[in-house]
Amino acid sequence: MSKQLSELIQAAEQLTPEEQLRLIAHLAQNMSTGSPSSQEHNQPASQTTKTGKSIWQIAEDFTKDLSQEELSKLPTDGAEQHDHYIYGTPKRTS
C-alpha cells in the first residue's frame, strides 16, 4: 500500500460514520463515472446517475491497479468479520 493511500485511510478512520458513508458514496460515484459535476456533488448517491455496472465490475475497476502483494493484504472473509475490521473487536470463530 502506498504511503499516500495509508495516510488517506488513517484520515478516513477519524471521520464520523455519516462522513465515512458520504465519502464511500462519493468514491463509488467517481470510480464509476469520473468526477461528478458540482451540481451532482451535493445530491445523495441515490439521486445521481446510475452506471449500469454490477458491483463486481466496480470492484474489479477499483482493484485493477493494485499489485498482487497489496491484494493479498485485503480481508478475504468479506462481511463475516466486519465488526473486527470496523471496531477492532476480536474475530469471531466460525
> Is residue 58 included in any domain, yes or no?
yes
Return the C-alpha cell found at 67.
499489485
> Is residue 32 included in any domain, yes or no?
yes
> Is residue 34 included in any domain, yes or no?
yes
> Is residue 18 included in any domain, yes or no?
yes
> Is residue 40 included in any domain, yes or no?
yes
> Is residue 7 included in any domain, yes or no?
yes
> Is residue 42 included in any domain, yes or no?
yes
Residue 31's SS3 state is helix
Count of the separate structural domains present in the chain? 1
**Quick one: residue 52, left, alpha or beta (phi over 0 = left, psi -120 to 50 = alpha)?**
left
Q: What is the pLDDT of residues 35-92, one digit of tens each?
A: 544 444 454 555 445 667 888 888 888 888 888 888 888 777 777 888 888 888 998 8
Q: Rounded to an integer, what distance in angstroms lies between the CA atom of residue 30 and that of residue 72? A: 25
State how far Cα 70 lies from the chain centre: 15
Higher-pLDDT residue of 44, 30 = 30
pLDDT at 45: 52
Q: For residue 51, give its domain range.
A: 3-87
pLDDT at 33: 66
> Is residue 77 included in any domain, yes or no?
yes
- CB count, 10 Å around CB of 29? 19
